[in-house]
Structures are given as structure tokens and as C-alpha cells.
Amino acid sequence: MDKLQKIAMTYQNILQIQYYFEIAKKQVDHQFIISFEKGDFFHLAGLHKLKDVTVLQVKKNKESIFNSIVNGEISFSQIENSFFYNDIENRLSYLGKLQSLLDNNQIVFQYLESKNKASCIKAEYLMEEGYEKDILFMFLSQRNNYMSQGIPIMCCRSFFPMDQLDYSKNQPAYTLLKKIKIDNITGEKTVQYDRSRIMEQAKAARTEPERKSIMMQLNEKKAQLAIKDALAEKKHIQKGKQNHERF
């Protein structure tokens, strides 16, 4: 199977999935739902950056482009030959893992554009995830003012691994209260994170080591450790490259 087609077909599996989030900051609670559509793939894959790939410029409908990739009408070789392909290579490699990345507990920030004046990204929330040797950023914005029972429906506006700029720097962090994964086809709902349950378990712990072990399940602690490990691995790889270049 074509590499790009495989990534698109993997992404197709997330179209039936939604993620419900409850977050809080300064004793004010917020809720939102992340949903996915075929047309989102275009930006998530970074295909908008490939200005020299004619087929991507001729087809203006993003959903149509996604369908053409799934059907094998647009292939990996067509985008790989782009002068700009290196700009999206890492992004593509992680896009196939998008669902598993979202399944992990995330750090959620309010995204203030004024804190990153070098960027043109417009978003309401920023999610950060440490994965292997990379830090991944996901930017969320409301999908055409859509609501579900008064809860805003968000789309993943942009998604990529950190290069030089740390987009989370100086951004206000939220406390994650609850996260639920919803399968809209089967109706199955999976509680992936529940802060109140963790706190109750910690309170009921009989020993201090047991309590500390339970508290390590808190989303911010797990996420911070993952990010710390990813940054350490990234620095190790960069140092290895520099030493190699000297010889």
C-alpha cells in the first residue's frame, strides 16, 4: 500500500471518534469536544505547505483531496518530490499515530497568540505531548461555531513536532479534570482520565508510598515526565550529531 494512502486510511479510523475534555483554571471550569473530519487531514498532514504539487493546488476541496489519497489517486511519490517535503516529513510520520497520541493524557494550555508573535497560528487551545524524542503540539479552534448540547466542538487546526520554538512557553496551563473517548459508531464511552477519582484513591491510601504512587497518575505529572524525557532524548541526539560533524 502507498505510504500516504496508509496514513490517510489510518486517519480514517479516527473520524468516528470524539474526545470530551473538562478543564479548569482559576476555579473556572471549561468543556470542549474534539471531532475530526476528512477535510482536516489536509492541514494536519501539512499538505498546504506543498505549493509546488499541482494536484493539491488544482483540487480546492479538502475532503475531495482526502478521498483521492484514500483511493490511491494521489500518491506519496507525488508529494515526496516536492521542494517543501522536508517541512512536513516529521509531521506525516506522527499523523499516523494521532489517535494513540490523543489517547495519552495531555497538557492543555490556553493559547494566546500574543505570546508567540513569530507564529501566524490562530487557536484557542494548545495541547502538548512528549513522545519518544519529540515534543508534539496540537492547536485547537472551534469548528465553525459548532456546539453540542452547549459544549463547543473543536477541530485540530494544526499538528506538528517541536522544531526550535516552544509554543507552550508563557502560555497559561489548565488543570485536566476529565477526558472521555467517545466512539460515535458503537456508542462506547471510555473514561481515559478522571482527576477526582485519582484524588479519592490517594486520600484512601494507607501508606505514604502508596499515596505518592497514586498521585503520579495525575495528568500533569505524567505529561511533564514524558516531556522531560523527550527533551533529554532530543538534546542527546543533537549532541551526537554535533560530535559526528566534528570528525
- Overall average pLDDT of the 55-79 stretch: 92
Secondary structure of residue 53 in the 3-state scheme: coil
Residue 19 confidence class, pLDDT cut points 50, 70, 90: very high
Note whether 2 and 9 are within 8 A (CB).
Answer: no
Check whether 83 has a pLDDT greater than 90.
Answer: yes
Note whether 150 and 29 are within 8 A (CB).
Answer: no
Amino acid present at 239: K
- Overall average pLDDT of the 62-88 stretch: 94
pLDDT of 247 reads 44
pLDDT of 18 reads 97
Range of lowest pLDDT (69-73, 132-136, 228-232): 228-232
179: Cβ contacts below 8 Å, ≥ 6 apart: 19, 20, 21, 22, 105, 106, 191, 192, 193
Question: 164-217: per-residue pLDDT in tens?
Answer: 788 888 899 899 999 999 999 999 999 999 999 988 998 998 999 898 888 877
- Overall average pLDDT of the 120-136 stretch: 85
Of the two residues 226 and 91, the one the predictor is more confident about is: 91
Check whether 22 has a pLDDT greater than 90.
Answer: yes
Q: How far apart are CA 56 and CA 74, in angstroms?
A: 9
pLDDT of 246 reads 43
pLDDT of 194 reads 93
- CA distance to 20, 72, 193, per residue, from 177 (Å): 11, 42, 7
pLDDT of 110 reads 93
What distance separates the 2 farthest-apart alpha carbons in the chain? 65
Question: 24-58: per-residue pLDDT in tens?
Answer: 998 899 999 999 999 999 999 999 999 999 999 88
Q: How far apart are CA 14 and CA 20, in angstroms?
A: 14
Residue 150 confidence class, pLDDT cut points 50, 70, 90: very high
Check whether 149 has a pLDDT greater than 80.
Answer: yes
- Overall average pLDDT of the 68-81 stretch: 94
Question: 88-126: per-residue pLDDT in tens?
Answer: 998 998 999 999 989 986 789 999 988 887 788 889 999
Residue ranges of domains in the chain: 3-246
